[in-house]
Amino acid sequence: MYVYVREAQRSFQVRLACLILAWLLVACTFCIPVAAQDTGIAAANTDIAAKNYDKAYLKLKPLADNGNAVAQYYIGVMYEQGLGQAQSYASAAEWYQKAAKAGDARAQNNLGLLYETGRGVPEDLSTAVTFYQKAADGGLHQAQYTVGRMYGEGRGVQQDFVKSALWYQKAAIQGDVAAQTALGTLYANGTGVTQDDKMAVRWWLAASEGRSAEGQYLLARMYSRGKGAIQDEAKAIELDRASAGQGFAPAQTMLGIRYETGKAVVQDYKAAVDWYERAAKQGAAQAQNNLAGLIFLGKGTSQDISAAVSLWRASAEQGYAEAQSNLGLRYLDGKGVAIDSAQAFGWLHKAADQNLAAAQYNLGVMYFKGTGVAQDIDEAKKWLTKASAQGNQDAIRGLATLTAKE
């Protein structure tokens, strides 16, 4: 019923949220280098491990005031996260500035993130890159990945995919799974590097071994298609399950598609509904659309046309073409909504503009009949021609009928 469409890349906001979480997780470990463990730092480290942040702060503050960069960095972290002190991005930035000036790569990196997000300091992408670059030059793999990301997105620097690939590779070699995943994508697309499916597989495999949910999902696609590796659906399913088990919505959607269509698994509509629901709850547009289709038909779950329409609407509002088309059809047939030919025309036009053949065909029919729009035979021919070019049989027959009447 549904053609698999690879989920669009995550928005910058989502990826940035993941990046922030990664930084916080690193900071939360409070793993102080052995070289910096003088008596005061070691004592503070013991308090931090026991989550006695108030005591840790009292031990760190005098050291920080005396110029100890490690203490300054951790006081910055404590202010950023509200550990032992009232949460304050401005105070965090102040302490990160002190540690960054002394050459602490972690402080430079965290300060870059504050400038990128405008927390505690004015948003300034150029300054963010400056601090990320210093941390990257100091060998911090998280910063190397971020410099690669900034070059890839053209944020704070002129977009340069070659430099993006170079920085991703530096981080990837150090085992940074986000960089490994991103570098694999560049090789798969031939962006900034020579296109090479085997290299894509190599880096996605490394990311998968580091439990990157995205890396597992992307590697699964290569095994499923036999690109850069011998085709192996069993491995693809195993990787999809591992990724979906970590909550990665595209993998959950893919498992739903497998169970709905019976691709390399026993067809099971209930299992399809289960996986689609998990992804749909995360706002995955494709999963919302596909789940709506099953609920509309009562496959694997109780039929609920109203719920199906709600899901189609949620997906359509995210710009998913199939959902826009399905919602348009509901406004034509009045199932789950009141018949409204103008709404039907609007949604079908959105889907047709995205080159969805079925929507182009239905839009052509609406122009021919004058449903929801003034009759316009030329427009009808235009949309039927577009759908015909994609092999839509209904459009081919309709266009032939129109031509014969001329």
Model pTM score: 0.86
Domain closes at, from 318, 346, 371: 318
Same domain, 79 and 149: yes
Q: Which domain holds residue 30?
A: 13-159
> Are residues 69 and 207 both part of a single domain?
no
Asked whether residue 289 is assigned to any structural domain, the reply reads yes
End position of a domain, from candidates 102, 127, 159: 159
Same domain, 79 and 197: no
Token duo for residue 95: 């302490």
Does some domain include residue 123? yes
| 141 and 98 belong to one structural domain | yes
Cα–Cα dist 2/197, whole Å = 27
Residue 4 lies in a domain: no
Tell whether 210 is covered by a domain.
yes
Q: Are 324 and 350 in contact (CB under 8 A)?
A: yes
**Single residue among 276, 299, 318 that ends a domain in this structure:** 318
Query: Per-residue DSSP letters for 45-88?
Result: HHHHHTT-HHHHHHHHHHHHHTT-HHHHHHHHHHHHHTSSS---
Same domain, 241 and 251: no
Is 254 part of any domain? yes
pLDDT in the model for residue 15: 46
Domain count, the chain: 4
220 alpha-carbon distance from chain centroid: 17
Co-location of 27 and 101 in the same domain: yes
Q: What does the alpha-carbon distance between residue 196 and residue 214 come to, in Å, rounded to a whole number?
A: 19
Same domain, 125 and 216: no
Q: Identify whether residues 353 and 376 lie together within a single domain.
A: yes
126 and 18 housed in the same domain: yes
Q: What is the pLDDT of residue 404?
A: 85
For the chain, which ranges sit under pLDDT 50?
Answer: 1-37
Give the CA distances from residue 273 to residues 298, 309, 321, in Å, rounded to whole numbers and listed in that order. Answer: 10, 16, 21
Tell whether 170 is covered by a domain.
no
CA distances from 358 to 4, 16, 37, 59 (A): 15, 36, 67, 68
30, 122: one domain:
yes
152 and 71, same structural domain?
Answer: yes
CATH code of the domain covering residue 297: 1.25.40.10
The amino acid sitting at 130 is T
Contacts 24+ apart (CB under 8 A), 145-150: 145/171, 145/176, 145/178, 145/179, 145/182, 146/19, 146/109, 146/112, 146/113, 148/179, 148/182, 149/15, 149/19, 149/182, 150/125
Task: Please tell me whether residues 270 and 402 are part of one structural domain.
Answer: no
Task: With respect to residue 383, please indicate whether it lies within any of the assigned structural domains.
Answer: yes
Q: What is the pLDDT of residue 5?
A: 29
Q: Is residue 218 part of a domain?
A: yes
